[in-house]
Every structure is written in C-alpha cells, then in structure tokens.
Amino acid sequence: MFTFRQYLLLGGFFLGAISCSSSSDNSLGETEKSDVLEARPHFVEQAGLASGASTAQEKPGSVPAAPTAPVAVAPSSGKKFAPKVPGISVSQVSVPDKVVALTFDDGPHASLTPRLLDILKKYDAKATFFMLGTNARLYPNVVRRVAAEGHEIGSHSNTHPLLSKCGQGKLVSELDAAESAIVAACGKRPSVMRPPYGGMTAKQRQFVNQKYNYHIVLWDVDPLDWKRPGPAVVAQRLIKGARPGSILLSHDIHAGTIDAMETAIGTLKAQGYRFVTVSELIAEATAAANAAQSAPAPAEAPVLTAAVTG
C-alpha cells in the first residue's frame, strides 16, 4: 500500500499532468481523450484543489435574501426552501417543487448520446448537454437532434483544458471555438457553460459571464460515473443524491452511465420529480424567489365590528 507521503507525490504527479494546454496527442480519439482527461480532474476536485466546485457558493450576482424572506417547506424532502435568485455560478438552486436538472458532459457521442435521447424521450425528461466543441464538430447531426428534441446545449470548452490554469487568450479561444461549433451545428448559441473539472477562477467566471452572458453551471450531485462503478451504483447515487433544485452530473460518453438512466430517471419520476434544463431550473428558482420577495404582507386581521343595536 502507499504511504501518505507517496499519495502526496502521486497527487503532485496528477496535478502536474493537468494544465491549460490541451492534449496534443492526436493518436487518441476524442472520446478516449476526454475520457482520460475526465478521469483526472475529479482526483483534483476531491483533493479540494480545483477552484470551481469548491467555491460554487460564491455568487457575485446573487441578490442576498432579505433576513425576513419567507421560508416555505419543500413538501418532498422536508428541507427548507429558502428563496434565492441564482447568481453567476450555480451548483444547485432553491425551488419549492420536486424538479432537477440532469446534465451530461463531454459529448456528444456518436451512438451513446442518441441512445440517451431515446430514454429521455420515453420519460418526457429534458436535460442539458455540456458539449466539447471538438465533439460537436465531429457529430453535428447529434447536436441537431439534441436541440430539436428540446434539450439545452451548453459549452464545455473546445478541448477540455483546466481553464483556471489558462490565460485570457486561451480562455477566450476555447469558449469562442466551442460556441462556434455548437452554433454551426444547431444554429443556437449556448447560455450556459460548465468549466472542465469545475475549474475556473472567480475572476474568470465574472469575465465569462460579462463577455458571453453565460451562467457558470457546476453541480451538487456527482455519481462519479467516470470511474465506471456499474450502472446500478450510478443510478443509486443519482437517486439518493437528488433534492429539489439539484443539478446532477453525468457523462454521455460512458455506456454504463446510459445503462443507469432508465432506473435513475424512472425511479425519480415515480418519486414525483420533473426533469428540466438548467436554464429552466434557474428560471423556476428566479421566479420562486421573486414571488417570495414580492409577496404581499399578510392582510391585517379583519376587525370585527358588531353593530350595536338597540
């Protein structure tokens, strides 16, 4: 077994392996490449070193909830519903209803994404696909089908670098290239993006939001499907993790993930969950927060007046 010191050294090795520069190893197919890359970041994220998910609570654009903001109880989980307008970065939202966003990264994939689309259609579920520009360019027909069936397409950069290690020029070229590939395929520009590995500095998030008007979308439920624990485990992790307002992370480049979806979606649907796109989820949370803020003060108790007669 490794000693603690050896683990630290290993961690340093993996960290060093992730950099801004995208892989120049063209011997790997796109799917394999993103596969390999995807396997590293989570190691970093678990070590708390990536700047994305761990700082997801920072929401520069959010409107702070008034101390007297009404608090309702979500009927599904018993968890308190605290109305809050989502900020620039979103990892989950506050909604009163049983509604979640399924999200799929690193695709599209030539055969797995279409198989997933069939399942989503069967359960009347909408999802969000954070696509790589390189894969959108390879499979424009799949991109078109995703959009035509009412799902949302977000940017996941062009080549999957760790953006927090990138300079401004590389950040812009990655996002421009991803957006142009998506627009070329389906004619619609994204309004959401997810940084690879969840890694993006607070400054970059502000900049990207201003320049591209994207919401930066992270997640609150991660089944670690990239480790291929088997469909049953992936499904159970998604089912157990889901709360009203959750953003569920998965990857539509792994067969086991697609195999998990019938159970995951079917079970959550039977529990009363609806599945909407990330932008729809953000809109629902915004509407709920605004409604709570503008709710009229409770009417004064009616004054009972009794006619005094005679």
Beta carbon of residue 251, minimum distance to Ni ion (angstroms, whole number): 7
Largest CA distance in the chain: 101
Catalytic residue among 109, 151, 160, 251: 251
* Residue 74 amino acid letter: A
Residue 190 touching Ni ion (CB under 5 A): no
Nearer to Ni ion, 31 or 209 (CB): 31
Beta carbon of residue 130, minimum distance to Ni ion (angstroms, whole number): 7
Q: Segment contacting Ni ion (CB under 5 A): 9-17, 38-46, 166-174, 263-271?
A: 38-46
Catalytic residue among 105, 106, 220, 252: 105
Evaluated on CA atoms 234, 239, 242, 244, the torsion sign reads: positive
Residue 107 touching Ni ion (CB under 5 A): no
Residue 231 touching Ni ion (CB under 5 A): no
Nearer to Ni ion, 35 or 176 (CB): 35
Residue 105 touching Ni ion (CB under 5 A): yes
**Residue nearest Ni ion by beta-carbon distance:** 105
Find residue 246's DSSP bridge partners.
Answer: 92
Q: Give me the helix-helix angle, 202-212 and 168-186, nearest 10°.
A: 40
* Pairing verdict, β 152-155 and 80-81: unpaired
Nearer to Ni ion, 96 or 190 (CB): 190
Q: What is the DSSP secondary-structure string of 88-107?
A: SEESB---SSSEEEEEEES-
Nearer to Ni ion, 199 or 245 (CB): 199
Q: Segment contacting Ni ion (CB under 5 A): 45-53, 194-202, 205-213, 226-234?
A: 194-202
Please tell me whether residue 22 adopts helix, strand or coil conformation: coil
Residue 196 touching Ni ion (CB under 5 A): yes
Beta carbon of residue 34, minimum distance to Ni ion (angstroms, whole number): 6
Residue 106 touching Ni ion (CB under 5 A): yes
Residue with tokens 């390999």: 36
Beta carbon of residue 160, minimum distance to Ni ion (angstroms, whole number): 6
Residue pair 246/118 in contact (Cβ under 8 Å)? The answer is no
Q: Segment contacting Ni ion (CB under 5 A): 30-38, 89-97, 198-206, 218-226?
A: 30-38
Closest CA to 278 of 103, 119, 145: 103
Beta carbon of residue 157, minimum distance to Ni ion (angstroms, whole number): 8
Q: How many CB atoms lie within 10 A of CB 241?
A: 16
Residue pair 62/83 in contact (Cβ under 8 Å)? The answer is no
Q: How many CB atoms lie within 10 A of CB 233?
A: 16
Closest CA to 174 of 220, 211, 219: 211
Give yes or no: 259 in active site.
no
Nearer to Ni ion, 98 or 254 (CB): 254
Give yes or no: 105 in active site.
yes
Q: Which residues here bind Ni ion, judged by CB under 5 A? A: 38, 105-106, 196
Q: Name the residues annotated as catalytic.
A: 105, 251
